[in-house]
Amino acid sequence: MYRKTMSKDKTSGGTIAQNRKARHDFFIEDKVEAGLVLQGWEVKAIRAGKMTISESYVIFRDNEAFLFNAQITPLWSASTHIDPEATRTRKLLMSRRQIDKLMAAVNQKGYTCVPLASFWKGQYVKCEIALVKGKALHDKRATEKDRDWNREKQRVFRKSH
C-alpha cells in the first residue's frame, strides 16, 4: 500500500500565533487546550502565517465556547469562490466538563477567558485558552521590575562564570 510521508515543514508542529499582551495584562490562573473549528481557506491562511489573536477573547453561548475577534487574513488565491470574513466567531472544541468549569469561573468569580497561543498539533490547529484575572497598573510595574531584576541577575551570573 502506498503511503504519503509528511515533510517536516512549519505546519507540522509549532506555534502559529501568540498573545504576548495577555501575559502582560493578566494574571494567568488556569490553562486549557481547545480545538478550533475552521473552514478550508482559514487553514490555508494559517499555514501561510496569517493569524492574529492579540485582541481576541472567549465567549460562552448556549453551553458552547467561541473564539471571538481572532483575525485570520484570507489568502486571495485560496478564497476566490467565497466571501471570507477575517474576524468571524469560531467555535472552540472542549469537553463538557472543561466548558462548565470555565463558564462558572467567568460568570461567578469575575474571571475572563483569553487565548494565549495557537499551534499545530499534528494536522489540527489547537488554541491554548487561559482563565485570567486583570492586573492593576502597579501589578504590571512590579512584574516588569521583577523581570528586569532577573535579567540583570542572569547577566551578572554569566559574567562571573
Neighbouring CB atoms inside 10 A of 126's CB total 18
> Residue 126 in contact with residue 115, Cβ under 8 Å?
no
How much is the pLDDT for 34?
92
Is residue 79 classed exposed, middle or buried when 0-12, 13-18 and 19+ CB atoms within 10 A define those classes? middle
Q: Is residue 53 part of a domain?
A: yes
Report the sign of the C-alpha dihedral through residues 125, 29, 111, 143, in that order: negative
Q: Is residue 34 part of a domain?
A: yes
How much is the pLDDT for 159?
82
Q: Is residue 119 part of a domain?
A: yes
How much is the pLDDT for 78?
63
Give the CATH number for residue 87: 2.40.280.10
- pLDDT tens, position by position, for the chain (161 residues)? 444 444 444 445 688 888 888 887 888 888 999 999 988 888 888 888 888 888 888 999 999 999 998 888 888 776 566 777 778 889 999 999 999 999 888 888 878 899 999 999 988 999 999 998 877 777 778 888 888 888 888 888 888 77
Neighbouring CB atoms inside 10 A of 119's CB total 16
Location of C-alpha cell 466571501: 83
State which residues form the domain around 49: 15-135
How much is the pLDDT for 24?
78
Number of domains in the chain: 1
How much is the pLDDT for 129?
93
